[in-house]
Amino acid sequence: MSSQMYLIIAVIFLIEFILFIYYFTQRVYNGHIPKLRQIKGFEQIKGVTGQSIETGRPLHLSLGVGGLGNETTADTLAGISVLDYLAEKAAITGVSPTVSMTDPMAMLYAQNVLRTAHANDYDLAEAAYRHIRWIAPQPTAYAAGVMNLLAIDDAQANVMVGNFGDEYLLMGEVAARRKVTHVGGTSNPNTLPFIYVSADETLLGEEIYAAGAYLRERPSHIGSLVAQDSMRWIIVLVIFAGILFSSL
């Protein structure tokens, strides 16, 4: 099969995927909301704001050691989707999460998320900005800062969604030792074992990209999620048909 034929097939699949997203998004807008499988990590995240209010102890959210505009963008945006949800809750309750990151661009993006959530209260927005912490650009230095932050602030919950490396184990160990509610997620397969052994709930791989659908329940995110599942089934059927054809 020529490279041109591969390109044509790829374009066909891309167009089909776009049409699926549009179709399922419109169905959600019309009230046909599919039942998503339960992901305990997101259920835990929904409860941490209330726990923080009840105990009077802060909530920490880590956007990871990734940035924007490179190969870690998707994971960083997944963490920002979680911040979007927590910022909405903060605008209602007045309890803002402490947000940490290594990338200055991610810090500016986080500030914009908080600004949007607190659009009707300038004073509350200014107070929320003070909870955004750009700690250090190096992963090890960042981990040391987060470890210190969790210990000094006596955090009630620790949510870490983004791109992480081996430094995650340092931060996760502190959270586990202090017995705080701990939810972690990343797409890095080398880091997932560290999250699994230290966190209460783990968001495995691509589950972090579903934050908008599970936390904010946005029609476009839910439609995209259903479209991805549909494309997977189509690809499986195409592969199966190809194997069957070659065998016969």
Q: Which domains does the chain have, with CATH numbers?
A: 1-32+218-248 (no CATH), 39-217 (3.40.50)
Phi, psi of 202 (to 5 degrees): -120, 130
pTM: 0.82
Percent above pLDDT 70 for the chain = 95
pLDDT in tens, 133-191: 889 889 999 999 998 888 887 778 889 999 998 889 889 888 888 888 889 999 989 99
Supply the pLDDT for residue 174.
Answer: 86
Mean pLDDT (the chain, rounded): 85
Q: Is the distance from CB of 75 to CB of 187 less than 8 angstroms?
A: yes
DSSP per-residue string spanning 162-210: EE--TTHHHHHHHHHHTT-EEEEEES-TTTHHHHHHH-SEEEEGGGGGG
Indicate the DSSP class of residue 38.
P
Mean pLDDT of 75-96: 84
Indicate the DSSP class of residue 33.
-
Mean pLDDT of 226-231: 86
CA distance to 57, 99, 222, per residue, from 153 (Å): 8, 13, 36
Supply the pLDDT for residue 125.
Answer: 66
